[in-house]
Structure 1
Amino acid sequence: MSKRWTAACLIFTTTGALADDATDAKAYQRSRAAVADLTRIVAPGGIQASYKTAIGGIDQWLFVRGQDKANPIILFVHGGPASPVIPTAWQFQRPIEEYFTVANWDQRGAGLTFRDNPQEKVADTLKVARYVDDTIEVAEHLRKKYGKAKVILMAHSWGTVPALGAALRRPDLFYGYVGIGQVISTRENERIGFDYALAQAKAHHNQEALRDLQSIAPYPGDQPITRERIITARKWPQYYGGLSAFRSESTYFFSGPRLSPDYSPDDVKNIDQGSLFTLGRLLPEFVTVDYSRVGTFPIPVIMFFGRHDYTTPTAPTEAWLRQVKAPYKQAVWFERSAHMAPWEEPGKTLVSLLRYVRPLADGKMPD
């Protein structure tokens, strides 16, 4: 098993080899073509655009899709760091595109943006503050290019760190904020996830897991959260369903990019390279993230909670949402999800966006 670790998701993935012989290669290309045809926007008033534009001094990739240009825009800020959503958005996004235009963005160091920029130009810019600035610039770009007064800000996992910062800095850009797998306190998340894994390992008499976990205990404790410790700490909560509920593996997500019509086979391989490039540089800052002292939030905030999420455990965010003052706030629980709610419960994702988020873009408060 090849390991790809991320600071917010810390995911272990088996990407597998691409087809080698000519017959399998042709079948692989036909499969990608079928997905491309399924997801193609054919509505006369729709939009299907993929392009790179200057954001934060480098070229960054955007994919903008929707069945009706008149619909409000969602800016989706992906997780990771450097875990782009574009190559798996085909798994859950099509129904959302009937009611919203969705802009997915490969952040600096991730996916196609990683591919198209010299590493030496980007390396020293991998700072949380720069990602916050980038999020603001992307939102401003979308408003101007598509003629919108504001956009909806939606973020997943690591992406909730710069997205929350952008909402606090520039609330005028956004109708509201949707957090999925929200990070409020990294250290508290690490403690809760570790405790869950240890309890599961004991309950299942998993000696391998117990040895791994005890080797870093107490965690996080007073020691630095290093790459090696965080890899060990995140492996076992995810094995016990803390990434995808009721699953020890998430093949649908990690192998999904191979069928993406938007990523070539070489681009898929670059996902891991972007992760390796990005994560070590961001980890020292990421582990200090703590939004728990934010007592006032300037725009409506909706949190999507995976009931079984032990990758970014829900307790710190649930406590924050109870105490924060905001124009509107709503908790939405996904009972059959862990960390990957849009992939795990795409139907509830759409229904929740229509009930709690679409009214905000129409100038109304949800019921």
Structure 2
Amino acid sequence: MIEKFLPAVVLFVAGLAAAADEPVAPPPAEPAYATVRPMIAEQQRLVAPNAIEVSEAVELGGLKQWITIRGADKANPVLIYVHGGPGAAEMGRSWPYQRGWEDFFTVVQWDQRGTAKTLRAGGEAANKAELTRERMAKDLVELMALVRQRLGVERVVLLGHSWGNVIGLDAAMARPEWVSAYVGVGPLLALQANEKAQYEGLLAEARKRKDATALAELEAIAPYPGEGDIPFAKVNVARKWVQAYGGLAAYRDNANFYFRAARLSPYYEFEDRLAIDAGGQLSVPALLPDMKRADHRRIPETRFPVLMFLGRHDLTTPASVIEPWLTQLKAPAKKLVWFEHSAHLAPHEEPGRFLVALVEHVRPLASR
């Protein structure tokens, strides 16, 4: 039963070992959230003459899927955020950092099929019908086409976080002429290699700390990930210690600040937030076979610049899997940018430095 493994299922690839953030009924403080959300919406309202602020469902792959388009000046280059998980919608969690981006980019957030507002609007059956890597990459290509037409741009920046890099790179390679730059944030490139490096990193950290409890639990799941299927019970153990050791959010043993950000989002109601957790339960079992086959380290060359934004403390998607690929990759330009005080959630953990990195390294490559 999937319900037994909710902590791992919520964000299997991102490595977020949190159970559902929301209770099954609205919490007693929900009226307080409802009071604060309009304040945040007003503070973040874009009022300049050439600004854009859109929230709507658009048809991608025959399914209505929710997007937002926000920017202070429609003349700015376009950036599409491809969220992780699978099922870890970012739209409702992006408000703490995204407003700064919107002065330099027109930012598109997208709730992928199988999660959050898209799941709530279309229902489980419609969302599950074509919940595959191939279909979701095609959804992203369709989204790129829609954005290009609506905003009158030739190319866009794609930014993939964690699992989002699986379909993000798929779409970029399918339409390289539409991509001005590709940014990978804590990217998942190859699941089996990722899990192996993560496990080795956890063992090393446990030994360094002389943490007998962690060592006993980690050694009990050996070999990890092993060959064939990866049992969720083993995943739960690995994710528990990733989080406890600050490999999800640096210097923290939890990421509640990230999970709970959606409670104050102007774009999410209580039911939308519940649909994030439901999206993890729906998406991971459906997409796990596709994830296991994914290995973007096989990409030898791209026609677009590639930037990797990595948290120095990330145990979720270890850099040891990413750096060798980037070193060998042939691309018009490539760059590795480190976030010294981040793990897997750099936009949330170091929002100021992340914005500076986007402006310094990505915007000069971006074009309309």
User: 1:122 is matched with which residue?
Assistant: 127
Structure 1 Cα separation of the partners of residues 214 and 183 of structure 2: 34
TM-superposition CA deviations, 1:111-144 (whole Å, max 9, x none): 1011111322332411111111111110001001
| 8 Å Cα contact 1:196/1:237 also seen in 2 | no
| 8 Å Cα contact 2:26/2:270 also seen in 1 | no
Correspondent of 2:233 among 228, 236, 239: 228
TM-superposition CA deviations, 1:151-197 (whole Å, max 9, x none): 11111000011001111111011111011011222111101111122
What are the residue-to-residue correspondences of 1:164-175 with 2, within 5 Å? 164-175=169-180
Larger relative CO (CA 8 A, sep 6+): 1 or 2?
Answer: 2
Correspondent of 1:352 among 343, 352, 357: 357
| 8 Å Cα contact 1:184/1:289 also seen in 2 | yes
RMSD of equivalent CA atoms = 1.8
Distance 1:20 1:136, change over 3 A: closer
Aligned residues: 361
* Aligned-residue offset at 1:12: 2.3
Structure 2 Cα separation of the partners of residues 88 and 118 of structure 1: 22
| 1:115 partner amino acid | R
Correspondent of 2:314 among 288, 309, 312: 309
Structure 1 Cα separation of the partners of residues 75 and 40 of structure 2: 25
What are the residue-to-residue correspondences of 1:276-291 with 2, within 5 Å? 276-291=281-296
Deviates more, 1:264-273 or 1:204-213: 204-213
Structure 2 residue 184 is matched with structure 1 residue 179: yes
User: 2:138 is matched with which residue?
Assistant: 133
* Aligned-residue offset at 1:360: 1.6
Distance 1:206 1:69, change over 3 A: same
Structure 2 Cα separation of the partners of residues 226 and 2 of structure 1: 13
Deviates more, 1:12-21 or 1:112-121: 12-21
* Aligned-residue offset at 1:221: 2.3
* Aligned-residue offset at 1:222: 2.5
| 2:315 partner amino acid | Y
Structure 1 Cα separation of the partners of residues 55 and 201 of structure 2: 41
| 8 Å Cα contact 2:15/2:242 also seen in 1 | no
Structure 2 Cα separation of the partners of residues 251 and 356 of structure 1: 30
User: 1:297 is matched with which residue?
Assistant: 302
Structure 2 Cα separation of the partners of residues 34 and 204 of structure 1: 44
Structure 2 Cα separation of the partners of residues 38 and 84 of structure 1: 22
* Aligned-residue offset at 1:4: 5.4
Structure 2 Cα separation of the partners of residues 320 and 182 of structure 1: 12
Deviates more, 1:133-142 or 1:218-227: 218-227
Structure 2 residue 211 is matched with structure 1 residue 206: yes
User: 1:68 is matched with which residue?
Assistant: 73
| 8 Å Cα contact 1:310/1:338 also seen in 2 | yes
TM-superposition CA deviations, 1:187-214 (whole Å, max 9, x none): 1110111112222233334344333322
Structure 1 Cα separation of the partners of residues 203 and 317 of structure 2: 16
User: 1:262 is matched with which residue?
Assistant: 267
| 8 Å Cα contact 1:299/1:327 also seen in 2 | yes
User: 2:39 is matched with which residue?
Assistant: 34
Distance 1:278 1:362, change over 3 A: closer
| 8 Å Cα contact 1:238/1:244 also seen in 2 | yes
Q: TM-score, normalised by structure 1?
A: 0.93
| 1:157 partner amino acid | S
Distance 1:2 1:16, change over 3 A: farther
Tell me the secondary structure at the aligned position of residue 92 of structure 1: helix
| 2:115 partner amino acid | A
Tell me the secondary structure at the aligned position of residue 143 of structure 1: helix
User: 2:7 is matched with which residue?
Assistant: 3
Q: TM-score, normalised by structure 2?
A: 0.93
The sequence identity of aligned pairs, in percent, is 40
| 8 Å Cα contact 2:22/2:274 also seen in 1 | no
Structure 2 Cα separation of the partners of residues 302 and 148 of structure 1: 21
| 2:247 partner amino acid | G
Structure 1 Cα separation of the partners of residues 164 and 232 of structure 2: 19
Deviates more, 1:313-322 or 1:230-239: 230-239
| 1:74 partner amino acid | L
* Aligned-residue offset at 1:64: 0.6
Structure 1 Cα separation of the partners of residues 134 and 30 of structure 2: 43
* Aligned-residue offset at 1:353: 1.2
* Aligned-residue offset at 1:20: 4.8
* Aligned-residue offset at 1:223: 4.3
Distance 1:13 1:159, change over 3 A: same
* Aligned-residue offset at 1:235: 1.9
Structure 1 Cα separation of the partners of residues 360 and 160 of structure 2: 18
